[in-house]
Amino acid sequence: MPDTATMLDTRSTAAAAVDLVLGEVESLLTRIRQEQSDRLQELAEAVSAADRVFVHGAGRSGIAVRGLAMRLMHLGKPTFVVGETTTPAIGRGDLLLAVSGSGSTPGVLRAAESACGAGARVAAVTNNASSPLGRLATVTLTVGAASKTDHSGTASAQYAGSLFEQGVALVGDALFHDLWQRSGLGAADIWPRHANLE
């Protein structure tokens, strides 16, 4: 059985980790708000104007952007996750929201190229606005967090692309909140769209 000193040390280490994550996320979101407010507005308008929204990201970035897809569905926006069996063809009037920290994730980049070829618009969320994905996009939101290959600990002390993925999830929630407020719908109005086959 661990002694009391070890238990206290473990608790303080866990609390310090929470403080670290909180501090990094707060700093990241503050920078995005200050430096990317115009891009956030453009992204919100692109999502709002799209007939349908398709989201795509690999790994944890994909998980983060799926949260936004769910919330857009709750708002009544036809929204699809690239790669799912029920996702239809993209076309004119549609928006692909593509997420890649590097901006060069092969599958995400191929999807963006295909979307452009089909006449859809592409919005990118990335760390690198001058990346291949950033250059394809009509709207690019630069998150500015550590990439998954940055092991220096300079941009973030967290592992790999954790801060980027956290930023994607929280910017997605902020984007949803903005669109929800614009919609004039109340919580009771959108609640019936929540899954009932859980």
Could you list the active site residues?
165
The amino acid present at 106, given as its one-letter code, is P
Establish how many alpha carbons lie within 13 A of residue 82's alpha carbon, considering only the half-sphere containing its beta carbon.
25
Q: What is the CA radius of gyration of the chain?
A: 18
| Six-digit token string for 103 | 């901006």
Question: How far apart (Å, rounded) are the C-alpha atoms in residues 65 and 60?
Answer: 9
Nearest to 156 by CA among 147, 33, 62: 147
Nearest to 162 by CA among 83, 70, 59: 59
Tell me if 98 sits within 8 A of 137, measured CB to CB: yes
